Amino acid sequence: MSTVNTVTEQLTAAGQAIEHDSFAIIDREVGSHNYTAEQWPIVRRMIHANADFDFNCLTDFHPDAVSAGLKAILGGGARVVADVEMICVGLSQPRLKHFGMGTHQFISDADVIEQAKAENTTRAVQAMRKAHRLGLIGGAIVGIGNAPTALIELVRLIREEGARPALVVGMPVGFVSAAESKDLMAEVNDVPWIVIRGRKGGSTLVVATIHALLGLAEAEQKK
């Protein structure tokens, strides 16, 4: 049986070779690390996406994060709820389709903008509230890579309104509340999460994390 994933890897032999060689370089340069065998492919792909080895230390996992993400993906029909359109555009549609997954984001919806102005909040806050009202957060993989206020609101929804995503990929980047929002998420015990500590993050890292989970899910299917 081939060890190469046919859906969640590069589609040509040349592309696969470049990607695999890149991963080998990362493995060699990182050396030892403290991540489990299930966590490391996720961190490695994050490093690959940004050529930034800091993610070797900054990435933190809830104990159930990887298993929860795989369960959601392999269960079929899982949703990705994102804070910004960039995440939805960055995710590979063929890879999502293989698992029957779809994406949702509401950051530019007219009602979200109107409510944010009316309540003097951010669009990201209102987008998370809309996703919750529509029943989309429950059982979803929620990816937040841009807006710390979206992650802070998601924590509130979990604590106060019973929102129960399958997994939170909380990686907002920035200087205002970014580090604090991720620390807040990491205090949540009853919802699994993957976060990047500190100011670093971004939608690219959320996409890399979800793609890594999709790759692990396909490998699980092949067993």
CATH code of residue 136: 3.40.50.10230
Inside any domain, residue 36 = yes
Inside any domain, residue 7 = no
pLDDT band at residue 107, thresholds of 50, 70 and 90?
Answer: very high
CB under 8 Å to 108, separation ≥6 — which residues? Answer: 85, 123
Which whole number is the average pLDDT over 171-192?
Answer: 97
- Active-site residue, from 48, 98, 132, 211: 48
Inside any domain, residue 4 = no
Domain with 213, as residue range(s), is: 13-222
Inside any domain, residue 3 = no
Using CA atoms, how far apart are residues 86 and 200, in angstroms rounded to an integer?
17
Q: Is 132 among the residues known to form the active site?
A: no
Q: Is the pLDDT of residue 45 over 80?
A: yes
pLDDT in tens, 136-160: 999 999 999 999 999 999 999 999 9
Number of domains in the chain: 1
Inside any domain, residue 8 = no
Burial class from Cβ neighbours inside 10 Å (0-12, 13-18, 19+) for residue 6 reads: exposed
Using CA atoms, how far apart are residues 18 and 4, in angstroms rounded to an integer?
13
Inside any domain, residue 1 = no
State the pLDDT at residue 47.
Answer: 96
Percent of the chain with pLDDT strictly greater than 90: 87
Inside any domain, residue 5 = no
CB under 8 Å to 48, separation ≥6 — which residues? Answer: 19, 22, 23, 26, 208
